[in-house]
Structures are given as C-alpha cells and as structure tokens.
Amino acid sequence: MEIEVLTRSKQKGISELLGNSAAFFAKKLNVEKCNYKVYICTKRNLKREGHMGLCAKTGEREITIAVDSNLPLPNILYTLAHEMVHAKQYCRGQYRSELAKNGRFRRYWLGKQVKAKYEDRPWELEAFKREGILVSQLLDHVAQTKKKNKKRSWQ
C-alpha cells in the first residue's frame, strides 16, 4: 500500500503524523502489501457536513481518505484508524459501493447488498470496533519507541 498525504493544514507535523500513523495502521491491518495507493487529505470543517472522516474508492487501485483537520489530535487518530479499516475493506474486496441509476448508493458487504442504518452496517461495526484497538497499539508503539530511544541516549 502506497500512502501519500496531501494537506495544507498549518498544524506543524500533521502530514508526517498522518503518514506514519496510516502506515502503522496498514501494517496492523495486514494490508501494507496491498496493491493500492491511498491518498490522505485534511479538510477543515468536515464535521459540519456530518462527517469526521471519509473513505472512498476513487479509482481502480486508488482510495482517498479525508479527515477533519479541526478535530483535536486524539480524534484525528481515531478517525484515521476508522477510515483505514474501510481502506482495508476495499483492498480485500469485503466492501464495495456503487452508484445506482436513481442517484443513490448501493452498498455491498461480502458480496451481498446491505440496506441498514449507518450504525448497523457491518463495515461500520468493524471500523468502530477496531479504531480504538489500533490507536491503543499506535500509542503503545510510540511509548515503547520513546523508551528505547531514551535508554540509548544514556548509554
């Protein structure tokens, strides 16, 4: 999985944070070798439009993730983790959506069309279940890395 961060955010280090976190999540989701390019962008005030983040398949082997840049840092990480689960679902062919002639989306999970409320959709259930686990794993990894680096500086 190739990850590219596209942001104009003035938050210092946000591009590096998003890229490194997405790569970590991809590894934990076992999709780092998936033959997709993932674009991650930030968009101010996405939450006003009813979303903290979005994930869409935007090409044959291309996925775009948007995260609201006005969110507090912890929420940015949870949102990115959530959207990376959706990226995994696209990569593995678990989830797909298509635009019907009537202008509405048809959504499919494991090949079967699903018509359910947002909170009952199987792809959302998985994303909500895994986002917290992924963020905890990331924070543990960062803490362990800091601890190792601190020990090295004393030697």
8: three-class secondary structure by DSSP: coil
**C-alpha span between 41 and 98 (Å, rounded):** 22
Nearest to 25 by CA among 70, 62, 65, 58: 65
Whether residue 62 has pLDDT greater than 70: yes
Amino acid letter at 11? Q
For 41, counting Cβ atoms within 10 Å of its Cβ (0-12 exposed, 13-18 middle, 19+ buried), the class is: middle
pLDDT-derived band at 7, boundaries 50, 70, 90: confident
12-35: per-residue pLDDT in tens? 788 899 999 999 999 999 999 999
108-155: per-residue pLDDT in tens? 999 999 999 999 999 999 999 999 999 999 999 998 887 777 665 545
pLDDT-derived band at 90, boundaries 50, 70, 90: very high
